[in-house]
C-alpha cells in the first residue's frame, strides 16, 4: 500500500497506446526510480517503467551474448578442422611410406616435422578474435601430446604413428623429440599467439630450419663440421637459409593480415640474426638437449631480445 501511494503521489506520464510507435508519445519522470530504490520496492520499477525501455534492455542483453556465442562456435569449428587436418597429414604420409611412394622412413618423418607446425600456425587466422581463441588452438597440439604420451608408454599401440614420427620404430622415442615438438607448439600458441613475431619465428626455425637441415645434411653432408662430425656444412647452411626464408615468409603472411606491422629492413636483419644464432646452437656437439627444444628456445630468446615482443 505504501508503494502504491508513492506511485499515485508522483506526476503521471503518458503510456502510448499499442498502435503508437512515436518515441515522443510519453514523458517519463526519473524521480520514480529514485524514490522506489529500496529492495522491497524494486519489483515496482519493472512495472512502473515505460514498456519501450523494458524492451530495449532485453534486446541489449540478447545482442551482447550474440558475438560471444559466435566466437565460441567459430573457435570450436576451427579446432575441429585443424585437428582433422593434423590427423590426416600423419595418416597420408604413413600411407605413402607403406606404399613405397616415399622410399625413406626418415624422409617421411621429417616431412611431417616440417609441415605439421607450419600448417598449424598458418591456421591461426581462422580462429576468432576472442581472448580464448589461443586456448582453443592449443587444444590441437595438446591432444597430440596426450596421444604421444599414451603410445609412448605403450598404453595403446598405434603402429602408423610410431612409424611416421620415430627414427627406429621404438614407441619410447615418442616421449622425446615428437613430444618436445608439440610442447613447443603449445607454448607458442598460449604465450605468444599470432600478434607476436617471437612465437612465429620459433616455430619457423624449428620446422623450416631444423627440418630441412636434416634432409639436406643426410643427402649432401659429406663435408663435416670440424667441431662436430655428426653435422655437416650443407646441413648448417640449409638450416640458416631455410630458417631465414620460412621465418620471413610467415612474418609476411601474418603482417599482411594485419596482426602486426614490421619494417622490412629491420625485420630482415633481426631474422638473419635469429637464424644465425639458432644455426650455431643446432650445430654444437651436445646430446643433452633435443633440437626440438634447443632450436625453438634459443630462437625465442633471440627474437624477444630483437623484436621486444
Most confident of 91-95, 166-170, 227-231: 227-231
First to last CA, the chain: 65
**For residue 65, what pLDDT band results from cuts at 50, 70 and 90?**
low
Instruction: Please list the residues that pair with 228 across neighbouring strands.
Output: 225
Residue 234 to residue 228: CA distance in whole angstroms: 13
Residue pLDDT, tens place only, 19-34: 444 444 444 444 444 4
Residue 247 to residue 272: CA distance in whole angstroms: 9
Q: Is the pLDDT of residue 126 over 80?
A: yes
Q: How far is residue 231 from each of residues 220, 238, 240, 285, measured CA to CA in Å?
A: 11, 12, 13, 8
Closest by CA to 232, choosing from 288, 289, 285, is 285
Q: Who contacts 284 (Cβ-Cβ below 8 Å, separation ≥6)?
A: 227, 228
Do residues 79 and 137 make contact, with C-beta atoms less than 8 angstroms apart? yes
pTM of the entire predicted model: 0.77
State the pLDDT at residue 103: 63
- Share in percent of the chain as helix, strand, coil (round to 5): 75, 0, 25
Residue 218 CA, distance from chain mean position: 32
Beta-carbon-side half-sphere exposure of residue 241 (alpha carbons within 13 Å): 9
- Residue 207 backbone phi and psi in degrees, to 5: -85, -60
Amino acid at each position: 500500500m505504501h508503494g502504491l501511494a508513492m506511485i499515485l503521489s508522483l506526476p503521471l506520464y503518458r503510456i502510448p497506446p499499442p498502435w503508437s510507435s512515436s518515441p515522443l508519445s510519453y514523458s517519463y519522470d526519473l524521480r520514480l526510480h529514485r524514490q522506489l530504490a529500496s529492495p522491497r520496492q524494486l519489483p515496482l520499477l519493472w512495472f512502473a517503467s515505460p514498456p519501450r525501455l523494458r524492451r530495449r534492455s532485453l534486446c541489449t542483453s540478447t545482442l551482447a551474448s550474440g558475438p560471444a556465442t559466435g566466437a565460441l562456435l567459430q573457435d570450436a569449428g576451427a579446432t575441429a578442422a585443424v585437428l582433422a587436418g593434423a590427423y590426416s597429414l600423419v595418416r597420408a604420409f604413413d600411407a605413402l611410406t607403406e606404399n613405397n611412394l616415399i622410399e625413406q622412413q626418415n624422409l617421411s618423418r621429417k616431412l611431417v616435422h616440417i609441415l605439421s607446425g607450419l600448417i598449424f600456425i598458418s591456421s591461426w587466422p581462422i580462429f576468432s578474435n576472442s581472448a580464448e581463441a589461443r586456448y582453443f588452438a592449443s587444444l590441437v597440439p595438446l591432444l597430440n601430446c596426450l596421444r604421444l604420451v599414451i603410445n609412448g608408454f605403450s598404453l595403446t599401440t598405434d603402429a602408423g604413428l610410431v612409424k611416421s614420427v620415430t627414427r627406429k620404430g621404438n614407441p619410447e622415442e615418442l616421449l622425446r623429440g615428437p613430444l618436445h615438438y608439440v610442447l613447443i607448439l603449445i607454448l607458442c600458441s598460449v604465450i605468444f599467439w599470432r600478434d607476436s613475431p617471437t612465437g612465429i619465428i620459433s616455430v619457423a626455425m624449428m620446422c623450416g630450419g631444423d627440418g630441412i637441415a636434416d634432409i639436406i645434411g643426410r643427402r649432401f653432408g659429406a663435408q663435416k663440421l670440424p667441431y662436430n662430425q655428426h653435422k655437416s656444412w650443407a646441413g648448417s647452411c640449409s638450416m640458416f637459409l631455410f630458417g631465414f626464408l620460412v621465418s620471413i615468409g610467415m612474418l609476411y603472411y601474418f603482417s599482411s593480415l594485419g596482426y602486426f606491422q614490421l619494417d622490412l629492413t629491420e625485420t630482415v636483419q633481426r631474422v638473419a640474426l635469429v637464424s644465425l644464432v639458432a644455426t650455431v646452437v643446432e650445430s654444437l656437439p651436445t646430446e643433452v638437449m633435443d633440437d626440438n627444444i634447443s632450436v625453438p628456445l634459443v630462437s625465442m630468446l633471440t627474437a624477444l631480445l630483437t623484436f621486444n615482443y
